[in-house]
A and B are shown apart, each in its own frame.
Chain A
């Protein structure tokens, strides 16, 4: 078994979005979308959107939203002409994710207008994760969640909205979307983080009377296993296989998206 040292990356990302069984049966494609980018060695971002089932062009809206969010965040990392830094160096993370959220909404509004359609027919949720240096921050409109590994602790950084009914959700296209936009506190020293849509919520989170808790028997082995895989094609495939596995589709009919981002330098040995 030949052995070689892993390629070193500051940030690595893997993920997959798969259609739920009910959508597959009806021939409807997955209406989730995700996008991500690594900004050299200084930062990375992930955006995940879940197109609403009631919106006719939900998939399109989700795709436009995640793409615009990543583009907006990448602009903060454009180097200044003198090469001394970038806007991200002086801007607060919370402001950057809020700005990305607004850019995503504006992009969907513009797209809907250009199509001559109501912006509500492009409605989706949106989660944005920004990892700048050693600090991670998220913004979320609607459901879905973000769970991090900080040391040995599993932390629910962005919990699903406390909605009254399971089929009700806030959308990026709501007029009051700014009120619904939940920005997390900055969190340092994270080594891995997962972002996922509501189709995964009931699989990864334990809901108790006091709210949601990350399900440790899932996340501890998951993060450990994904550390060497993340950022490789096998990482994407591993997540996709997980999301379409029998156990997962038995317990969740919804479309599912799961994205993992890890930071730090891997010392593991790969075999080929």
Chain B
């Protein structure tokens, strides 16, 4: 307990002053803020897992190159937002030849878009489970270190259909069950985007109820990633009780459309 005594003084110039005596020595502080220390808390984190298809088909029509450019735009756009760059926590899981965490979670400044190479099949089921596990692990880290967070996003981008699971098989049931229960429990938000020639029916069957997959128009990966970065910027700066309204991407000039089944 500080045993110093404080006294107030009226002043026509300063609205008030706080006189401060300790050990018989007198000095004054003109502002309360000079007397106190604040907790200097860490920023709340806004986690997102980019779940990217890097199967061989992504090399067709330069999609993998467009995706790389989109990732660069994603980082650039987030870096330009003072608050988002301190809060958005990005991880990348790729699935093609293998399923791998191509970039562990990091804040925007430390995020380097990973090198992605198109090769192999489309082990989407395993990749989705990997992303869900990554989110769970990250949330535990937040909990253990006292970091506040926003609800994580898992953002799937593919141009194909899963080759490691088929509707009704055990892995399919495990994956779709994990997505549905994760959404229902508020563990994460799951989005899926299909670039041509993705099977949108399969994506719709995987997606949680009420959140249809979006078809990417004309391989506009950069526009999609810029939208994603702006959405993350909005979420990461939202306050308690705020309702976040995302930018519309369905308009005539938008990057996405909802397929009609």
Contact = CB atoms under 8 A, between A and B. Distances in A.
A242 B39 contact: no
Nearest to A234: B16
A220 B243 contact: no
B261 interface: no
Interface residues of A, number: 58
Given A209-B143, A225-B18, A241 B32 contact: yes
22 contacts: A20-B239, A53-B239, A53-B243, A165-B150, A166-B148, A167-B242, A203-B38, A205-B39, A207-B41, A209-B146, A215-B38, A222-B35, A224-B4, A228-B8, A229-B6, A234-B10, A242-B32, A248-B38, A254-B239, A268-B6, A270-B7, A270-B8
Interface of chain B, main secondary structure? loop
Nearest to A170: B241
B146 A207 contact: yes
A92 B214 CA distance: 57
A202 B10 contact: no
Nearest to A203: B38
A56 to B, nearest CB: 10
A222 to B, nearest CB: 5
Contact of B38 (A52, A53, A218, A238): A218
Given A204-B38, A229-B16, A238-B32, A166 B4 contact: no
B241 A218 contact: no
B186 to A, nearest CB: 7
Interface in B28-71: 31-33, 35-41, 44
A247 B237 contact: no
Interface string A160-174: 000011111101000
B110 interface: no
B164 interface: no
A169 B241 CA distance: 6
B80 interface: no
A165 B10 contact: no
Range for the number of chain B residues in contact with chain A: 35 or more
A62 to B, nearest CB: 11
Most buried by A among B5, B32, B33: B32
Given A53-B238, A220-B2, A268-B5, A238 B18 contact: yes
Given A166-B149, A207-B146, A241-B32, A225 B6 contact: yes
A241 B83 contact: no
B33 A241 contact: yes
Interface in A95-128: 123
Interface of A: 1, 20, 22, 50, 52-55, 58, 123, 143, 152, 164-169, 171, 198, 202-209, 215, 217-218, 220-222, 224-229, 232, 234, 237-239, 241-242, 245, 247-248, 251, 253-254, 268-272
Given A224-B4, A234-B8, A251-B41, A239 B32 contact: yes
A242 B240 contact: no
Given A202-B148, A209-B146, A225-B32, 5 more contacts: A166-B44, A166-B240, A209-B145, A225-B18, A247-B33
Contacts of A20: 239
A241 B14 CA distance: 11
B41 A123 contact: no
B131 to A, nearest CB: 18
A243 to B, nearest CB: 9
A247 B31 CA distance: 12
B149 A232 contact: no
Contacts of A52: 240-242
